[in-house]
Amino acid sequence: DVSIRGMVPPLAFTMTDTQTGKPVTAQDFRGKTVLLYFGYTNCPDVCPATLYNMDRIFKRMGAAAKHVVVLFVTVDPDRDTPSVLNQYAALFGPDVTGLRGTPDELYKLARRYRVVFSVVKKPVYTVTHSAAVYVFNAHGKPQFIIAGLDTQSPDFSGIAQDLGWVVKQ
């Protein structure tokens, strides 16, 4: 984990919750520890591995995991329709919420957290994106970045312990 306290602004955004179809803001998730992750449903490796490993970490956290939510922000809204995003999020547990935004909302949020992504549609549809997971406490204050969740052996116990600490704050 890499501390981002003082280097990253508090959680702030307006996007559309793909489950309800309604606009949501960071305020709607106050009271929960938020894991903010940018990806896309057609990602062949990084996204599914990261989300799968998050679920494994939640299982290690026990009851504390009920205070954590994953916000999966699509960087490919042209292909990630609400229905597609909901089906994908459901594969990784009930605490994964799909978020879509207008191009302006997406770019604003990505810029805010220095997330890099690109979508090239021709000649071959290609999407690239950062793989970090941003952790915010129940008050929306940045805590740390989790890197390497897309690898074979992340530090499940250490990350679960760190998230448990954030939940208790």
Question: What DSSP line would sit under 2-51, residue for residue?
Answer: EE-TTTSPPP--EEEETTT-SEEEGGGGTTSEEEEEEE-TT-SSHHHHHH
Which segments of 80-124 are extended strands (E)?
96-100, 117-120
Average pLDDT over residues 68-94: 95
Domains of the chain (ranges; CATH) run 2-168 (3.40.30.10)
Q: pLDDT (tens digit, 9 = 90+) per residue, 115-160?
A: 988 888 888 888 888 889 999 999 999 999 999 898 878 899 999 9
Q: What is the pTM of this model?
A: 0.92
